[in-house]
């Protein structure tokens, strides 16, 4: 564990487990590196080096009031990659982290990257519009911001239900899943929470996806209530050259944490990084 100083003076917390080719995990919103503990341990136990950082404004990293845009997040990731001199790295990103991964490749290329994994990820574009009829209406994002600003602790408790699909019959979501979500969300500062909504709702990553030139696996649940697969995962698979799309039937947004889906994803991830 340690910290890296960004080019603009912020501190990014990161975990660094194991040895071998690096697997860099990029968390979703409003989580932090702890969301990847199962996968971090799994890759470290199988001859790889697992690395995960807290995005600025989240977890143990610096908590600035500004800087919550994807160019900044991508440059933060680049600072981490250069600080640790990571090469032949697999980048694995969940949800909002998928935008960070895409913009990183769009801005910094794949010189240090060998593979990419997009899990329940937001690219190419979340916001509904004439060119994206499958997207999420703007009012949904406005309501999210209102909920955070009104009483964020209760908002995060409520949001955990749809995030994990706890409102679906026969789900395997645990109380621990939902409490872990709340705990990590409460470590994100309120300004980051609101500003990130605007960033992940409105940023178009289409051109970034076209810059992918490494093997890419896309994993998405077809019952994702947060990031609809038809607006995101399926479209990304059409844009990224030779991308492999794995659709988990009935799976929620929180695939990497929910029992059953988590184990399936871990198997798919390990098989992919061993190729």
Count up the domains in the chain and report the number: 1
- How far is residue 78's CA from residue 76's CA, in Å, rounded to a whole number? 5
- The tokens describing 30, both together, are 């409003």
Per-residue pLDDT reduced to its tens digit, 78-107: 999 999 999 999 999 999 999 999 999 999
User: pLDDT tens digits, residue range 182-198?
Assistant: 999 999 999 999 999 99
Tell me the per-residue pLDDT of 195-246, one tens digit each, with 9 for 90 and over: 999 999 999 999 999 999 999 999 999 999 999 999 999 999 999 999 999 9
Q: Which pLDDT belongs to residue 119?
A: 98
Residue-number span of the structural domain to which 232 is assigned: 2-273
Mean pLDDT for the stretch of residues 135-144:
97
Q: CB of 54 within 8 A of CB of 13?
A: yes
Q: Supply the Cα-derived Rg of the chain in whole angstroms.
A: 17
| Phi-psi domain of 179 (left: phi exceeds 0; alpha: psi -120 through 50; beta: other) | alpha
CATH number where 230 lies = 3.40.50.1820
- Among all residues, which ones are annotated catalytic? 95, 224, 253
In this structure, are residues 107 and 71 in contact, taking their beta carbons and an 8 Å threshold?
yes
Q: Which two tokens stand for residue 115?
A: 């593979």
CB-based contacts of 170, cutoff 8 Å, min separation 6: none
| 1 has a pLDDT exceeding 90 | no
User: Six-digit token pair at 33?
Assistant: 């590196």
């Amino acid at each position: 564990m340690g910290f890296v100083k960004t080019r603009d003076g912020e501190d990014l917390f990161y975990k660094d487990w194991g040895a071998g080719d690096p697997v860099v995990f990029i968390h979703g919103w409003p989580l932090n590196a702890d969301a990847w503990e199962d996968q971090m341990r799994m890759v470290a136990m199988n001859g790889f080096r697992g690395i995960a950082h807290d995005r600025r404004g989240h977890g143990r990293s610096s908590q600035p009031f500004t800087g919550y845009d994807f160019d900044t997040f991508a440059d933060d990731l680049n600072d981490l990659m250069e600080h640790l001199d990571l090469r032949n790295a697999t980048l694995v990103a969940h949800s909002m982290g998928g935008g960070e991964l895409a913009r990183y490749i769009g801005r910094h290329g794949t010189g240090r990257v060998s593979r990419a994994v997009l899990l329940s990820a937001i690219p190419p574009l979340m916001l509904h519009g004439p060119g994206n009829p499958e997207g999420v209406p703007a009012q949904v994002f406005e309501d999210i911001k209102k909920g955070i600003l009104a009483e964020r602790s209760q908002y995060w408790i409520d949001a955990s239900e749809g995030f994990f699909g706890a409102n679906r019959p026969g789900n395997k979501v645990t109380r621990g899943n939902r409490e872990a979500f709340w705990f990590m969300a409460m470590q994100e500062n309120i300004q980051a929470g609101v500003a990130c909504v605007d960033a992940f709702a409105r940023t178009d990553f289409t051109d970034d996806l076209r810059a992918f030139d490494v093997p890419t696996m896309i994993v998405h649940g077809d019952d994702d209530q947060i990031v609809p697969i038809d607006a995101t995962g399926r479209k990304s698979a059409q844009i990224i050259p030779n991308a492999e799309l794995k659709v988990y039937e009935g799976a929620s947004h929180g695939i990497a944490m929910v029992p059953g889906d988590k184990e399936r994803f871990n198997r798919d991830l390990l098989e992919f990084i061993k190729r």
